[in-house]
Amino acid sequence: MNDTYERVVRLLVRNFGFETGDVSPADTFSELELDSLALVELTLAVQQEFGVKLTDDDLGAQSTLEEAVKVIESKPVAA
């Protein structure tokens, strides 16, 4: 995967105690056992890391990491 993916994985490692090898692009957040509050926390962390604005539903429990990366990359970066 690409740089965006690597940065998302770093957020998962830093904020949720994953090891880099624990996750793969095809994993859904639900499979990673991130509950609804954790998805909100990840949304806030992604916004801060990438300077983008996400809606409440952009990172869903059934999204794979690969899909989440595409959503993040589709967002305009705030000035």
Active-site residues, by number, are: 35
Task: Give the type of residue at 79.
Answer: A
Does residue 73 touch other proteins according to CB under 8 A?
A: no
Does residue 45 touch other proteins according to CB under 8 A?
A: yes
- DSSP per-residue string spanning the chain: --HHHHHHHHHHHHHH---GGG--TT-BTTTTT--HHHHHHHHHHHHHHH-----TTSS-TT-BHHHHHHHHHTSPPP-
Pick the stretch among 2-10, 21-29, 43-51, 68-76 that binds other proteins (CB under 8 A).
Answer: 43-51
Among 3, 19, 37, 76, binds other proteins (CB under 8 A): 37
Does residue 52 touch other proteins according to CB under 8 A?
A: no
Binding-site ranges for other proteins (CB under 8 A): 35-37, 39-41, 43-45, 48, 56
